[in-house]
Structure formats: structure tokens, C-alpha cells
Structure 1
Amino acid sequence: MIERIIEWSLKNRFFVTCATLLLIALGIRAVYLTPVDAIPDLTENQVLVYADWSGRSPQEVEDQVTYPLTTGLQGLSGVKEVRATSMFGFSLSTVIFEDGVDTYFARTRVLERLNFLQNSMPDGVTPQLGPDASGLGWIYQYYLHVDPEKAEDGGYDLARLRSLQDWQIRYQLASVQGVAEVASIGGFVKQYQIELSSARMRAANVTMMDVMTAVQNANLNVGGKVVEENGAEFVLRGIGLVGGIEDLELVTVKAMDGTPVYLKDIATVQIGGDFRRGTLDIDGHEAVGGTVVMRTGENAKAVIARVKEKIASIQHSLPPGVSIRPFYDRSELIDNTIGTLKHALVEEIILVTLAHIIFLWHFRSILIVTLPLPISILISFLLMKETGITSNIMSLTGIAIAIGVLVDAAIVVTENVLRHCEQAEEKKGDRLTRGETWDVTLVACKQVGRPIFFAMAIIILAFVPVFALTGQEGKLFHPLAFTKTFAMIGSTLLAVTLVPVLCSVLVRGPFHSEERNIVMKLLLRIYEPALDWALSHRKTVVGIAVVILAIALLEAFG
């Protein structure tokens, strides 16, 4: 069958050339469309569910919120496991689905079940879905840098920077395509804090519940009606939203004998920061920043580029002296990963070219050997795109590992064609015609076609055990095995289709025999005596090999 493929390719050189150009075009398109990330996503297919219940102990949260949620979510289709954590005033449940379940299908199912479980929740508790992101969704982190020379009044406090982050920057970055969430870090969340005086409360006969009810009822607007006067309509409404400390101080808590008791009479109202459990430290100083979380399945490099564009567009709207600066940018790691593959590809092409020149002394055949290398890589990217494998450090490592083997088949075919053409010219005593070159190429390619095909197939099968890995190990190493296999498949197909076509076109005289090659003469002068000694001392050679194997096994397993 391999011989038939080679003969068909030589008889249909135009078709093979067009098919190769089509593969190149599709491969280049796949390079740009394949999602790019730094590392494979090892996290499980999960949906987060969280619920706030302020002021409640972990045990209360566990009994009345976490337990009903976990038991109710376990019966969903495709659920593998449900994990939960109860903290002070907060419940977090993680629903783990099977790997084959679509993420958004899983989120829809969880949301349907949450609507059903809402009736079993305490008053004021509403479970919500977490962002549609994985554990590796953190792609960009930044902080707000303040230049004292340009800032108003010499700078801004952490509370104001946190308000700027929460109410301006965060919402603008969250609108970027591919961003699931922007989480704020550091600073102080602004609060109106009411410090009650127990002595004054007793004197005014006011309870804690009276204060809470009064503040809640005072902090709202009330709708009215429309009044028409002199042909014009006027909208009536009651404005009660708190705009500052003074508004809170004038809230009427209770009336004593017709005299109102204001909040300022029994408490001190001030602006402060919410309780916090962490800070953001930049060069030894507290700062305010944010973390951009990418949506599941998005292209990390493209999302980071869009985030940077958005940051550049909102810089002018920030207060004087404030700028957004990154302290973690995953695109740098992605660029380094891609750069490694580029360097490996260039180095391999240079080394193959030099080796070809030194050993064969046939410059036109250099293209035969080097051209299948980038085409095989493009075929690998095309198959990566079709199978949903992202470009990451593991998948690109598989291609980098395969680069050294991708040219082997082309080198063997080209060298055999050159030798046959050289022998045919010596036998004829003149240059070969185009038809004679075609016939010699067909014979030479058929001679090595089947051995090359099965040799490459054996190398491909060597990675079959990697596909048996499961869990996180499988997610980590499967991309490497797949991409190496894709590249090897592409190289093998090109060796029996494109390479014979290129040989029939580019292989022309003059040819240089090994006897006239200085490098080959030197190598043969060293190799022939060593080969003669090894063949005449076969038992010694086998014994040395066994000893080396035993030492290696002891080092590996001893």
C-alpha cells in the first residue's frame, strides 16, 4: 500500500502540491485560531455556589445553609462529587462534574436546582453561582500606582483608591470580552459606621432593633405621583437615600413625648473601613489592585491583549496621578513558551541544513529535507484546533520534542534517491533525463518507503501508554503526547507523498560520492576499525552492553 501511495503521488504531482498548499493555509489559520495559554488547565469541571449570611457562626452556616445545598445538589445529572466549606457568615459549595459535561450545561442545571432549594434557605440568604472560570483563570493582576507629585493633596488614601477600583475600574474591565470576573484586592471598603452608646440608649429607651429598623427605613427613596399644574406635569417623590454622615445623624430613631430622638443623640456616626483578612503589598507598601479572571475556554493571550487595550483607554479618566500597573501578566510566560518553539524550529532547520551540506553536498535537496519540518508543525496545529487542544507549554513541548525526528524520514528518502541517481548516472555515463529521474526516484522511494513508515509508526506507538493516564496526570501529559503524535503523523504522510514529489523535481546532478567527501572519509576511517573489532569480539560487546544495562537498572530502581 505504501508503494502505491508513493507511485500515485509521483503521478499526480500537481494534486499533491495543491493539497500541500491547502494544508499550509489551513495550518497557518489554525495557528492564529488555536487558544493560547501558559499551562494546561488541570482543574476539574466545577461549578461554584456561594451564599452570604452575615454575622452567623460557621456551625449555623453549616446546619442551615451548607447542608441543604450540598444534599440538594448531589442528585444532579453528571455530578461526580460535591465539596463544601462553611466559614463565618459565608458558605462555599463546589459541585464537581464529569469531564465530559459541558460547563454551561452544568451551570444551567445547578441554577435550576438552586431555584428549587431557595425555599429551604433562611430569610435573607440567596445562593449564587460563582464566575464561569477555572482555577487557572487568573491571567492578569494589577495595582493602582499613585504619583505624589501629580496627585491631588499629595496622594490618595487606601479607602478612596478602593472605591475607585470597586466603582469605576472593575466594571470597565469586567466588560471586556472573555473576562468572567474582576476581583478587588487591598485597601479599605468604605463603610458608614454607627457606634452606639449603651448609656444614652437606656436613657432614651431605645433598643438595637429600633436603630436597625430606623436606619433601614430611612435609607430609601419613595415614589409618588404626577401632579399637573398650569399645563405642566411634576413628578412627586421622596428622597431619603443617605448622602453623608449628616443624613444618618438626623435619622429619627424614636419619639419621646413628642420629642424626636435622633441617631446622633445615642450614637457616633463615622466613615471607616470594613473588616479585612488580607492586604496587597507592593514593594513594602500597601496598595489597591485587582485580579482579572478569564472565562473558561477563552484564549488567554487574546483576552490579556483586550484587557491591556481597555486599561489604556481608561487611563485618562482616572484621577490625576493614578495609573494602572501590572504585577502579574501571564502573556509574558505565553510569549516565552512560543519563543522556545520558534528557537527550536530555527535551530533545527539550521542544523539540518548544515548536516545536509556537509554529508551530501547537494544544495537543491536542502529544500526537500527542510520543507516538511514546518509543514508537519502546521499539520499538528491544525489537528490541535480540531481536537480542542490549546497551545500551552506542554503541547508545544510535544512539538519541540518531535522536531528532531520530523526530518528523519525526509533525510532517509532524499539520501536514497541521491545515491540511486548517482549510480544511474555512473552506469549511463551521462546526465539523467527528467523521465529517467522520475523512474529512479520511484524505485528509490519504494525501496525505503515501507521501512520508514513502520519505523515512524513504532515511534508514534511509544507514546500510547501516556494516553492511559487519567485524572490530573492525564490532563497534564495528554497534550504533549497528542501534539507529538500529530507532528509525527504529518511527517510520515509527507515522507510518502510530498518528499517523493520534491525529489523528482529538485534532485539533479552533479552528485558527489561518499568517497570524495572529506568528512565521510574521516568518519569511515574511524568507524570501520571500530566495526571490525566489534564484529570480531561479539561476546565482549554483548557483555559490556549487559553490564551497562544492569548499572542503569540499579541506578533507576535501586
Structure 2
Amino acid sequence: MVHRMIEWSLRNRFIVLVMGAALFAWGVYSVKKNPIDAIPDLSENQVIVFTEWMGRGPQLIEDQVTYPLVTNLQGLPRIKYVRGSSMFGMSFIYVIFEDDVDVYWARERVLERLSTVSSTLPDGVTPQLGPDGTGVGHILWYTLDAPQMDLGEQRALQDWYIKFALQNVPGVSEIASFGGFQKQYQITVDPNKLLYYRLTVPQVINAIRTNNNESGGRKFELSDIGYIIKTSGYLKSTEEIANIPVANQNSIPVRVADVATVQMTGETRLGIFDQDGKGERVGGIVVMRYGENADAVITKVKERMKEVSKGLPEGVKFDIVYDRGELIRESVASIKNTLIEEMIVVSLVVIVFLFHWRSALSIIIQIPITIAASFILLNAFGISSNIMSLTGIALAIGVIVDNGIIMSENAYKHLAERYALWQEQQKTQ
């Protein structure tokens, strides 16, 4: 079989050259389409289920949330195992699927099962899926350099303007905010005053909840004009909350301000983000979607940041604290230089030792064609151009050249023997 292939190649050299050129062109196209990253994605094929139940201890979270979810998610198809983790106010479930399972198919199966499990959880507890990213999906970290704004204003700017703008970038799964204070109305109830007015905490909660609402009426038509009737009762300030009546005693309303203190404050925090020891900062983490090109996504995010900066308050600007794009460029440039150096050195060694330019040329041509063709296989198997894959290609150059030298020396030897035999036959004649 091999002899016939060699014979056919020798008889159809032009076709072989055209096929080699086509393979090289296809390889160059694959190089441009291959996703680029600094490190390979070796994380497991997992779906994260996140559940929040603030104010509860880890043991209660484990018994009431984590355990029911883990036991009900066990029977999913093509699943390897399920891990659970409980902490103060939060529960994390890691559903690990087989490596060849499509991540979005896996998310659909988990979502279907969650729709039946929710009825067994406590009231107000709703599990939700984590972002469709991987363990190496954190590609960019940034903070806000805003010396004239307090941490609450910075967090509001991040959550209600910057986050939504950056999350629309193609390839971005989530913008995770961190740092600062999340503003909220806080009502501190005095138990002694509740006892004096003979009220309970649920009564106060119910009064505030019913007054922070909007109800609709009907459409009223008058003189061919339609009027929409509704009542708008959303609370807009601490004064409005303080003036809400809780109960009536002897025709005198008991307000929230009579039994509690209302103030604007930040949500309870479990940690802070300090940058370079200079104080707290507010920022976000860009999480890349599964299977995307890290280098392309980072470039698009930076372009969007330039557009978002035009709408920021005066004196506010982005400060990028972690950028995998720099690591990607340095890694790829290092491997690229190594490949070029190896190709040049190998070509010189082949020419010097063989000292036959046609044999050397046939070996040197194999190097770029084989390297370009390897990217076709990288795309076929979904492997990105990273440190490990490019290093493997660089190491394989020696094997490529060795095979070419052996074949060339073998062919040269047989041709020399045939030539010597032909000369002897000519002398005898």
C-alpha cells in the first residue's frame, strides 16, 4: 500500500504539489479561526446551582437547601457526581457531567429538574443557575478610579450602568460586581416600643410591604379619550417609610417611626476589596462564556469600555487590575518566536548535513505545511492555541524533520545503488 502511494505521488507530482498548497492554505485559514488563550481549559464540565437564603446559618442551609437539591439532582442523565457546599446565607451545588456532554444541554437538564425540586424548598428560596462559564473564565478584572464618589455611589454606578453595558458584549457570560456598599433602606425595630404598643414584627413588615405597591384599576373613557386608572405607591424616601401607619389605637395611628428607626445604609458585607493598600475599590469581573475566544472577547470588552467611559461622571475612569490579554500576547509571541527559530535552525542543519538542495527542500517544505495542518486538527477537536498546544507543535518539529531525513536518505541510497548498477551495465555492454 505504501509503495503504491509513493509510486503514485512520484508519477503525479503536480497533483501532490497542488494538494500540499491547498492543505497549507486551509491550515493558514484555521490559524486565523483558532481561538487564542494563555492557558488550556482543564476544568470539569459542570453546572453550578446557586441558592441564596440570607440570615441563615450553614447548618440550616445544609439541611433545608443543599441536601434536598443534591439528592434530587443525582438522577440526571450522563452525570458523574454532584458536590454540595453550604455557607452563611448561601448554598452552592456543582453538578459534574461527562466531558463530551454539551454544556447547554446539561444546563437544560438541570433547569428541568430544578422546576420540580423548588416545591420542597422553604418559602422564598429560589435556586438559580450560575453563569455559563468555566473555571478559567475570569479574563478581566477592573476597578473604578473615582476619588470624588463614595463607595455606595460607585457600587450603584457599577450595578446600574457599567454592568449592563459590558454584559452585552458578545462572548461575555456575566459581569460580577464586587466591593462598595449596596444601598438599602434599613428599619431597626425597638422591641420595647413594640411591647408598649402591643405590636409584632410581622405587623410592621406587612404594613411596609402593602404600602410599597402599585395597583391598577381600569380604563376610563371620556370624550373619546381613554384614561388608565392606577395608584402608584412605591416608597421613595426614608420619610415616606417612617410615616407609614402600622395600626390604629384610640383613633391615633401608630407609625413606623414610633416603633423603629429608618435609615439609608449599605447591605451587610462579608468582606472588602482593597487595592494596593490604598483603600477600598468597587469594580467588576468579566466572565467569559464557554468555548469563546479569550483574546477576541477581551478586545471587544476594552472597546466597549471606551464607549462606556464617555457616559461616566467627571473624574471617574476604569483601572484594569488583571488582563489576561497581556499574558496571551506574551505567551503566543514567545512560542511564535520559538517556532520561527526552530524552523530556521532545522533548515540550516538539514542543508549542511545533506548537502543536497533538492533533498533539503523536500524536507523543509514539510515544516510549514505540517504546522499549518495541525491547526486544522486543533479546530476539529475544539482545542485553543495556548502554551501547551503550541509547545507540543514546537516539539514535534524535530519528529517531522527526522522522518523527512530518513525517507530522503533511504531514497538517495536506493537511487545511488541503482545508478551504480546502471553504470556497471553500461561498462559490460
Secondary structure class of the residue paired with 1:260: strand
Equivalent in the alignment of 2:395: 401
Secondary structure class of the residue paired with 2:274: strand
Structure 1-normalised TM-score?
A: 0.71
Equivalent in the alignment of 1:294: 288
Structure 1 window deviating more from structure 2 (219-228 vs 16-25): it is 219-228
Greater relative contact order: 1 or 2 (C-alpha under 8 angstroms, separation 6 or more)? Answer: 2
Equivalent in the alignment of 2:195: 202
Q: Against the structure 1 CA distance between its residues 353 and 89, is the aligned structure 2 distance closer, same or farther, given a 3 Å change threshold?
A: closer
Unaligned residue ranges in structure 1 (runs of 5+): 149-154, 430-558
Equivalent in the alignment of 1:219: 212
Contact 2:248/2:254 (<8 A) preserved: yes
Letter in 2 for 1:85: S
Secondary structure class of the residue paired with 2:384: coil
- How far has the Cα of 1:7 moved from its partner? 2.2
Structure 2-normalised TM-score?
A: 0.91
Q: Deviations over 1:458-477 (max 9, x none)?
A: xxxxxxxxxxxxxxxxxxxx
Equivalent in the alignment of 1:232: 225
Equivalent in the alignment of 2:61: 61
Equivalent in the alignment of 1:306: 300
* Counterpart check, 1:283 vs 2:276: yes
Structure 1 window deviating more from structure 2 (196-205 vs 276-285): it is 196-205
Q: Deviations over 1:42-94 (max 9, x none)?
A: 22221111222232222222222222111111111122211112222222211
- How far has the Cα of 1:255 moved from its partner? 2.0
Within the candidate set 329, 345, 348, 1:351 is matched to 345
Q: Against the structure 1 CA distance between its residues 235 and 324, is the aligned structure 2 distance closer, same or farther, given a 3 Å change threshold?
A: same
* Counterpart check, 1:262 vs 2:251: no
- How far has the Cα of 1:373 moved from its partner? 0.9
Equivalent in the alignment of 1:519: none
Letter in 1 for 2:121: M
After TM superposition, list the pairs within 5 Å mapping 1:488-527 onto structure 2: none
Q: Percent identity?
A: 48
CA distance in 2, matches of 1:3, 1:425: 20
- How far has the Cα of 1:116 moved from its partner? 1.1
CA distance in 1, matches of 2:361, 2:253: 95
CA distance in 1, matches of 2:238, 2:359: 84
After TM superposition, list the pairs within 5 Å mapping 1:153-552 onto structure 2: 155-284=148-277, 285-359=279-353, 367-413=361-407
CA distance in 2, matches of 1:277, 1:374: 55
CA RMSD of aligned residues (A): 2.5
CA distance in 1, matches of 2:375, 2:67: 46
Equivalent in the alignment of 1:145: 145
Higher helix share: 1
Give the number of equivalent residue pairs: 422
Letter in 2 for 1:118: S
Secondary structure class of the residue paired with 1:23: helix
Equivalent in the alignment of 1:516: none
Secondary structure class of the residue paired with 1:390: coil
Letter in 1 for 2:75: G
CA distance in 2, matches of 1:375, 1:120: 60
CA distance in 2, matches of 1:279, 1:403: 50
Q: Deviations over 1:85-110 (max 9, x none)?
A: 22222222111222232222221111
Equivalent in the alignment of 2:76: 76
- How far has the Cα of 1:317 moved from its partner? 1.1
CA distance in 2, matches of 1:83, 1:64: 16
CA distance in 1, matches of 2:181, 2:287: 22
Contact 1:180/1:293 (<8 A) preserved: yes
CA distance in 2, matches of 1:166, 1:251: 29
Contact 1:36/1:299 (<8 A) preserved: yes
Q: Against the structure 1 CA distance between its residues 41 and 360, is the aligned structure 2 distance closer, same or farther, given a 3 Å change threshold?
A: closer
Q: Bigger radius of gyration, 1 or 2?
A: 1
Contact 2:179/2:280 (<8 A) preserved: yes
Contact 2:38/2:332 (<8 A) preserved: no
Q: Against the structure 1 CA distance between its residues 225 and 335, is the aligned structure 2 distance closer, same or farther, given a 3 Å change threshold?
A: same
Contact 1:173/1:307 (<8 A) preserved: yes
Contact 2:335/2:387 (<8 A) preserved: no
CA distance in 2, matches of 1:222, 1:193: 25
Contact 1:337/1:396 (<8 A) preserved: no
Higher strand share: 2
